[in-house]
Amino acid sequence: MMRKQIVAGNWKMNTNYPEALDLVTNILNESKNIPDQVALYVAPPFVYLSDVYKILKDSAVKVGGQNCSWEKSGAYTGEISASMLKSVGCSFVILGHSERRKHFNEDGTILSKKIEQALENHLQPVFCCGEQLDEREAGKQKEVVENQLEEVVFLLSKEQFQKIIIAYEPVWAIGTGRTASPEQAQEMHAFIRKLVTNKYGDDVAKGLSILYGGSCKPANAMELFAQEDVDGGLIGGASLKADDFIAIARSF
Ligand code: PGA
């Protein structure tokens, strides 16, 4: 397979400083036991990024931010820019997570600016999309995801698009213990890849890693990752335990 298999941990607003260092040290120690073709990504809270990077810098585990600002720099109290992330060792950034969309009203306009910032600063965007429960119940999940892609990532040039990763995260599955079935995940991932084929061509679509997110854990990762178009996972809760995170990475 020409595309990368990736297991990414989104720590969200969890861990204190010693816990974060402990978690990343355990991940590093256990990372030798995962298949060669699987890349591990971790996204700790901003304040730990530099120390986490120092621990991981000689390893293959990549460090990234959970978000970045839509602006380059300046009077934006409390914001963190893409260039700051880059300067402390980040190589990727999660953008458009449903929690950011919900609590911080992030929409297509702002996410387009964030993705530009990320790309300008050589950070790989992990762009999240996914429908709410009522949207799935109304049978609108594909329409919703297509719109989320169209208003942000489908505005990118082919060259830019080839730098991104997409994470499909049905909102009803995030932190709920209710995972999408392997069939539901595969159906959406195949749909996304088809849209990418139509927009950027077959080669770009085949090279795109599409991760599944939403209550992914060691007990269900294997059947999810066995699906043809599921190239890995974006892991929340289960990424806070090194053993679980590594077990997920061993599930290909
Ligand atoms: P979860 O979160 O694994 O805890 O459901 C996934 C995510 O939000 O990225």
* Residues 10-44 pLDDT 10s: 999 999 999 999 999 999 999 998 999 999 999 99
Which residue is catalytic, options 150, 169, 183, 223? 169
Return the ligand 1 atom nearest residue 237 CA: 4
Look at residue 2 and tell me whether its pLDDT is greater than 80: no
Å from CA of 232 to ligand 1 middle = 13
Banded pLDDT at 238 (limits 50, 70, 90):
very high
Closest to 80 (Cα-Cα) out of 91, 60, 66: 66
Q: For the segment 201-232, what is each residue's pLDDT rounded down to a tens digit?
A: 999 999 999 999 999 999 999 999 999 999 99
Pocket lining for ligand 1, CB < 6 angstroms: 10, 169, 174-175, 213-216, 234-238
Point out the ligand 1 atom lying closest to the alpha carbon of residue 215: 5
- pLDDT of res. 102: 96
What pTM did the predictor assign? 0.97
Judge whether 97 counts as a catalytic residue.
Answer: yes
Cα separation, 210 vs 220, whole angstroms: 17
The tokens 């997110």 sit on which residue? 213
Structural domain including 203 reads 5-249
CA 154–ligand 1 middle distance (angstroms)? 24
Structure tokens at 176: 């709920």
Structural domains of the chain, count: 1
In the structure, what pLDDT confidence band is assigned to residue 178 with cuts at 50, 70 and 90? confident
Q: Is the model's pLDDT at 1 over the cut of 60?
A: no
CA-closest residue to ligand 1 atom 1: 236
| pLDDT tens digits for range 99-119 | 999 999 999 999 999 999 999
CATH classification of the domain holding 142: 3.20.20.70
Percent of the chain surpassing pLDDT 70: 100
Look at strands 232-235 and 5-10 and give their pairing. parallel
